[in-house]
Structure 1
């Protein structure tokens, strides 16, 4: 089991909201209304760990080890929402999300293949780590800069934990797991070709609720994410390349071969898909 070891590792570096956030360094002159509004949106988005955890537990009923790990992931992700709300409560109480605004993003996700979902959220952690690093650079108020740095470090650790479970899946399921991971890896490393940000909170997950079946679509300002990325934290091609490079690097480690581009990863994905495809019988010949 991975859960006991991961619990010990993450417990040893867990930060304390009262002791490790420098609340007394707050400088009101360095927090703009524009910046404060983005903190509210991120606080609500982080609340999406609640429906995501419900999804993970439902779709991984046969995996008690991973389901137990969800107790760590859920706690730490919900604390992200909580610390952002605490910042607003202290310094911009008019912007604290309401309980209804938080509840609005709790809805059921359609069932999906567990291995693909694991890879999707692994890539999501990589992407969020980079988004929050950029957010910390964009903000000017020292306390929120530290908060975003702290959150980015958590997301990196969560990605590392997911990677452990992905290695275990490859040991257990071989090419089936590799095929699932490369399929989603190609998608999540191809953000430059899409019109929307590729992150789990921005993907459609409930066909009955379409088009309001993404986390972002249910925010008070559904257009917020793209504006935050493009116009505020300026998550440009340089930063997007960093995300893609991390995905390719980790895919190279997982698959034990080098991928220098998304195209190379996609070619390998096709090789795996072909190896797993059932043989097509020749006409008139019955399979033995």
Structure 2
């Protein structure tokens, strides 16, 4: 089991909201109304760890190890929402999200292939780590800069934990797991070709609720994320290239070969597809690598 070891590792570096946040260093002159509004939206977005956890537990009923790890992930993700709300409670109480606004992002996600979902969230953690690092640089008020640094580090550690479960999945499922990871990796590393940010909170997850079936669509301002990225924190091509590089680098380590470009990963994905198709031909011996 991975859960006991991950529990010890994450417990050892867990930050304390009372003692590790320099609340007394707050400088009101360095927080604009525009910046405070973005903190409000991120607090609501982070609350969506609740329905994501419900999805993970439902779709991984046969995996008690991973389901136990969700207790750590859920706690730390909800803590991100809580610390952002605590910041607002102390310094911009009029912007605190309402319970109704928080509950609006709790809705049912349709069942999806667990391995693809695992890879999707692994990429999401990498992306969010970079978003929060960029946000920390954009903000001018020292307390919120520290908060974004801390929660960004959490996201990186979560990505590392997901990577452990992905490695385990390859040991258990072989080429099927590799194919699932490569498929989603191509999608999530191709953000430059899409018109919207590629992150789990911005993807459609329930056809019956379309178009309000993304987390972002259920925020008080559904257009907020793109505005935050493009015109506020300015998450530009340089930042995006770092996200893509980390996805490709980690997949290369996981799959045992380097990927310098999305095209190389896509070629690998197609080759896995050919191997899987050949293994299904009559009389063929299943090939698992």
Partner residue, 1:201:
201
1:277 CA displacement: 1.5
Alignment of 1:47-86 (within 5 A): 47-86=47-86
Partner residue, 2:236:
236
So what's the TM-score if we normalise by structure 2? 0.97
Q: Does 1:118 align with 2:138?
A: no
Alignment of 1:1-80 (within 5 A): 1-80=1-80
So what's the TM-score if we normalise by structure 1? 0.97
Q: Partner of 1:277: helix, strand, or coil?
A: helix
Partner residue, 1:97:
97
Q: Which runs of 4+ in 1 moved over 2 A?
A: 278-281
How far apart are the structure 1 equivalents of 2:71 and 2:123? 20
Partner residue, 2:190:
190
Partner residue, 1:178:
178
Q: Partner of 1:42: helix, strand, or coil?
A: helix
Partner residue, 1:259:
259
Q: Which runs of 5+ in 1 are unaligned?
A: none
How far apart are the structure 2 equivalents of 1:108 and 1:278? 37
Aligned-residue Cα RMSD (Å) equals: 1.1
Q: Which runs of 5+ in 2 are unaligned?
A: 285-289
How far apart are the structure 2 equivalents of 1:101 and 1:87? 17
* Count of residue pairs the alignment pairs up: 284
Q: Does 1:216 align with 2:216?
A: yes
Write out per-residue CA displacement over residues 241-282 of structure 1, whole angstroms, 9 at most, x where no aligned residue.
00000000001001100101000000000000111115687x
Partner residue, 2:167:
167
Q: Partner of 1:105: helix, strand, or coil?
A: coil
How far apart are the structure 1 equivalents of 2:8 and 2:80? 20
Q: Does 1:270 align with 2:248?
A: no
Partner residue, 1:145:
145
How far apart are the structure 2 equivalents of 1:280 and 1:22? 59
